[in-house]
Amino acid sequence: MSQLETFYEVMRRQGITRRSFLKYCSLTAAALGLGPTFAPRIAHAMETKERTPVLWLHGLECTCCSESFIRSAHPLVKDVVLSMISLDYDDTLMASAGHQAEAILEETMQKYKGKYILAVEGNPPLNEDGMFCIVGGKPFLDQLKHAAKDAAAIIAWGSCASWGCVQAARPNPTQAVPIHKVIKDKPIIKVPGCPPIAEVMTGVITYMLTFGKVPELDRQGRPKMFYSQRIHDKCYRRPHFDAGQFVEQWDDEGARKGYCLYKVGCKGPTTYNACSTVRWNEGTSFPIQAGHGCIGCSEDGFWDKGSFYDRLTDINQFGIESNADEIGTTVAGGVGAAIAAHAAVSAIKRAQHKGE
Amino acid sequence: MSRIVAGPFNRVEGDLEITLQTASGKVQSAEVNSPLYRGFERILLGHKPMDALVYTPRICGICSVTQSVASARALADVMNLSMPVNGELCTNLVLANENITDLLTHFYLFFMPDFARDTYADKPWFNDIHSRFKATSGSAAAQMLPARADFLHLMGIMAGKWPHTLSLQPGGVAKAIEPKERMRLLAIVAGFKRFLENTLFGDSLATISQLQSEAELWQWCDEKDWQQSDFRRFLQVARVQELSTLGRGTDHFLSFGAYGLQGQTLWASGSYCQGDNKPLAISQIAEDHSHSWMTNTGSPHPPAQGITQPSLDNEAGYSWCKAPRLANQVVEVGPLARQVVDGHPLIRDLVARSGGNVLSRIVARLLEMALVVQQMELWIKQIDPKAPFCHHGEMPGEARGVGLVEAARGSLGHWLEVKNGKISNYQIIAPTSWNFSPRDNQEQPGALEQAVVGAPVAEGEKTPVSVQHIVRSFDPCMACTVH
């Protein structure tokens, strides 16, 4: 095993100044909710730890996860993370092509056997022996299994890799499955969302690279630091929900006043994600702020729970917290069990999600 | 004759493979394959029509807004609904925001890095281009990425999130713009304009958009040192490498027309071939399955009656992509097609002289950025925060509708049929389905398949660099192509 550079050395080599590096450490500490005293610890870890190689594979997908990550993140954070993971293999961005690229993948896997992190965007289809997604002449399923074999851990980027997402929506013509259905012997960190928020992606990967371990996960395998609260819990329109003030249709008077979007189909009360706190496009906004309800895109099977535009009108009474939560729980229906799991103070430490 | 399978291609959106037959150092013929199929058209069946607004953007995480707009327009068509002016302005702004970031990304991250390859190490321009555009370490990306992220704040404000926004609706937008937000939008566009003028063009957007001919383009280029701006850098490379001789396509162009406002479009719709400019004839669009892994229906069929039934039994099949044709002709779509059809003098002149090729495609792409960003400022100023942003309508039980839009990469159409209040058919033809289609029942190769014929292949090249330039000059989006 050859000696790897430290993260800090890699960053300096890529032209990131020490000042930017320290600023990055502060931003990261804040993003991870760790407080300013953690910044020096992050800096120390990065100065002394060997760089962890990351392989980034794409299956059946729309590339929205990569795009969210590379287009929307804070430029400094993104630069640093990109330089850290060095994109040893990522077919959207890498400099090489074709057979040369395939060779780099093999070389990285051999050289860092058991040490690299495998990041997967998209998922494998099982119908027709995997013919619906061919990478380098072979089914993506084969590439995925091959690359997973010697990985230290796997990150499932987005709802495709985590839950199956749109191509797995009924009737799932290609029989696309989330990666935990085919990889059962590795820790899988699920970062769901369609796509996930850029800052959540950088936060998760930075945590793993900096501290060299998997972040604390909930029972479904999602990092608790970003997926432990419902959109509804921290929604800035929440007071209007509690006051029973609702938008009835787009651009009506209630919409102009910023009322709650629950009656036009908002799934914020049953969706665990960081949209209402971290927000999108460098904290600019999120779907609810742009006048449309949440569709619950980070939840398992969100496609198959009825129309996204069904109006919810069966609310009789509001005004107090317990009722609001009751509404949330009722709506949850199929995911009720998941909510119970969240509500409980989890005893699971560093859960390593293993398939079912 | 020898056979090369080129791929997987990096720096294109999605998966792509091309089988090349080569002889005497040149490509003789090509078969392009999109090796990824998900089945959107089948997943949409039986859903409530409005749900298409949530499903279809997921066809593609890069052109997601254009998919939203096409599906909103198809829905508006079945509902017989029109937008208030504010709705049109906001839709145009969000669409322009995505299209421009796509054009920009293509130039800086996908196209130019090919010239930083070691193959070109002996070229006089190499050192500068290498330090500027080398993938993941070039200095250009460090300037372009923050400018792009800042520019996307417009998307954040108007559409909540990107990709896969939800605010675009058949009758307008869910987000009303307040006066203070309008000021912020102007500031965002002004900031981006500064980046384009200082870094990309090295001149004002007005000057770039008023270039009238190829002669004026080169004259403009030579007014300053070629390292003065990224556009001049590209032109210098294009001149030395003779990119205008590379990747000539069918020279038959199609555009659905772009950026509608009050019954007018900023750019005209239609088709253009050898000086002949025709109005858009939607009824002449049909899709052929002869060489697709789809159930072969025998003859091409219009998308409104289209079916998408994958089948690996078709022995002549080599791609998941169908072959869309306009009046049985192969056409090219994209920024070049849009500007030719609309009649921009610089682009018409370039095409008259040397047709559609790597040079003219890239020039058209950059020119569009200059044209649209100036327009965005005007649109923002026209938003009236007090007027309506969205109209409402009823979904009929039975109806048919079409939604047409121009994505960064070209013409995108959604064909929707509603029966019993549910989606009974949904067919999508994406820009790269046109450009990267396989052969049809008359054995006519698709636009890219024609464009790579004659491309030089050096001894031992596995994925010929000339083919890479041509492929990327179309800016393929494989996620959209087969959906």
Q: What is the pLDDT of residues A275-285, one digit of tens each?
A: 999 898 888 89
| Residue B141 tokens, joined | 């990306």
| In A130-241, beta strands by DSSP E | 134-135, 138-139, 153-157, 188-191
Give the span between the Cα atoms of A289 and B155, in whole angstroms: 12
Give pLDDT, residue A345: 27
pLDDT-based confidence at residue A321 (cuts at 50, 70, 90): very low
Q: Which of residues 143-162 of B touch A (CB under 8 A)?
A: 145-146, 148-149, 152-153, 155-162
> Do A174 and A262 belong to one domain?
no
Q: Is the predicted pLDDT of residue A62 greater than 50, yes or no? A: yes
**Tell me, what amino acid is at A303?**
W
> Do A156 and A284 belong to one domain?
no
pLDDT-based confidence at residue A80 (cuts at 50, 70, 90): low
- Domain limit, last residue, from A182, A215, A248: A215
Low-confidence ranges of chain B (pLDDT < 70): 8, 10-14, 136
A226 within domain boundaries = no
| Residue B50 tokens, joined | 């409005």
Report residue B130: phi and psi, to 5°.
-65, -45
Domains of chain B, start order:
2-481 (1.10.645.10)
**For residue A292, which residues of chain B lie inside 8 Å, CB to CB?**
160, 166-167, 174-175
Give pLDDT, residue A34: 77
At A135-156, the pLDDT tens digits run: 777 889 999 999 999 999 999 9
Give the span between the Cα atoms of B311 and A232, in whole angstroms: 44
> Do A247 and A310 belong to one domain?
yes
Lowest mean pLDDT among A74-78, A315-319, B79-83, B109-113: A315-319
- Short-list B366, B378, B359, CA closest to B209: B366
Do B149 and A72 count as a contact with CB atoms less than 8 A apart?
yes
Give the span between the Cα atoms of A172 and A174, in whole angstroms: 6
Give pLDDT, residue A177: 95
Q: Is the predicted pLDDT of residue A79 greater than 70, yes or no? A: no
DSSP tally for chain A: helices H, then strands E = 15, 7
Could you give the 3-state DSSP secondary structure of residue B222? helix
> Do A204 and A251 belong to one domain?
no
- Short-list B322, B312, B313, CA closest to B291: B322
- Short-list B405, B458, B368, B391, CA closest to B26: B458
Give pLDDT, residue A135: 77
Q: Was B221 annotated as part of a binding site?
A: no
Give the span between the Cα atoms of B79 and B401, in whole angstroms: 8
Give pLDDT, residue A344: 31
Give the span between the Cα atoms of A20 and A28, in whole angstroms: 12
Q: Was B483 annotated as part of a binding site?
A: yes
Q: Is the predicted pLDDT of residue A317 greater than 90, yes or no? A: no
> Do A87 and A207 belong to one domain?
yes
Cα separations in angstroms, A281 against A84, A274, A293, B136: 22, 13, 18, 22
Q: Is the predicted pLDDT of residue A70 greater than 80, yes or no? A: no
Domain harbouring A282, CATH code: 4.10.480.10
**Residue given tokens 């289809």 in the structure block:** A125
Do A251 and B174 count as a contact with CB atoms less than 8 A apart?
yes
Give pLDDT, residue A82: 64
- What angle in degrees, to the nearest 10, is found between the helix axes of A64-72 and A75-85? 120
CB nearest to A285's CB, from B40, B61, B157: B157
Q: Was A25 annotated as part of a binding site?
A: no
Do A63 and B13 count as a contact with CB atoms less than 8 A apart?
yes
Domain harbouring A122, CATH code: 3.40.50.700
> Do A199 and A244 belong to one domain?
no
Domain span at A65: 7-215
Give pLDDT, residue B10: 67
Do A58 and B15 count as a contact with CB atoms less than 8 A apart?
yes
- Domain limit, last residue, from A184, A215, A246: A215
Q: Is the predicted pLDDT of residue A175 greater than 80, yes or no? A: yes
Give pLDDT, residue B11: 64
> Do A211 and A257 belong to one domain?
no
Give the span between the Cα atoms of B386 and B469, in whole angstroms: 49
pLDDT-based confidence at residue A174 (cuts at 50, 70, 90): very high
- Short-list B3, B1, B6, B2, CA closest to B466: B6
At A265-302, the pLDDT tens digits run: 999 999 999 999 989 888 889 999 999 999 999 999 99
Closest-CA residue of chain A to B147: A75
Q: How far does A121 lie from chain B, in Å, by closest CA?
A: 12
Q: How many CA atoms lie within 13 A of B109 on its CB side?
A: 24
Give the span between the Cα atoms of A59 and A175, in whole angstroms: 13
| Residue B261 tokens, joined | 């406002």
Closest-CA residue of chain A to B59: A62
> Do A42 and A116 belong to one domain?
yes
Give pLDDT, residue A319: 40
**Residue given tokens 């019993």 in the structure block:** B420
Number of CB atoms found within 10 A of residue B398's CB: 11
- What angle in degrees, to the nearest 10, is found between the helix axes of B214-222 and B230-241? 120
Give the span between the Cα atoms of B133 and B110, in whole angstroms: 10
Give pLDDT, residue B135: 75
Number of CB atoms found within 10 A of residue B443's CB: 9
pLDDT-based confidence at residue A327 (cuts at 50, 70, 90): very low
> Do A188 and A272 belong to one domain?
no
At B215-237, the pLDDT tens digits run: 999 999 999 999 999 999 999 99
CB contact, 8 Å: A74 with chain B?
Answer: yes
> Do A26 and A152 belong to one domain?
yes
Query: What value of ipTM does the predicted structure carry?
Result: 0.87
